[in-house]
Amino acid sequence: MKPYWSPNAPYARKAVVVTRKMQFDHCVEIIETPAIPTRANEALSALNPLTRIPTLQLNTGAILFDSSCEYLDVRP
């Protein structure tokens, strides 16, 4: 699982905290991603056309965004 985040984004920070609090941060690859509204981010826009973070790429290849924290909260 790969959460794309930025330290400047409060919801992205929340997603990273959730992975640590639920003690599965050892099986995720946290990827710091600049998300600046005035600058294009090609890597992020390839995954998420809205170019918003947090964006979560699951091991299956599925992409979740905007509500990534809810997925982490109900993850088995």
How confident is the model at residue 68, as a pLDDT? 58
Query: Residue 57: beta bridge partners?
Result: 2, 63
Which residue ranges in the chain fall short of pLDDT 70? 35, 67-76
Domains present along the chain, CATH in parentheses: 2-74 (3.40.30.10)
- Give dist(CA 17, CA 49) in Å, integer: 25
pLDDT at 29: 87
pTM over 0.85: no
The pLDDT of residue 26 is 77
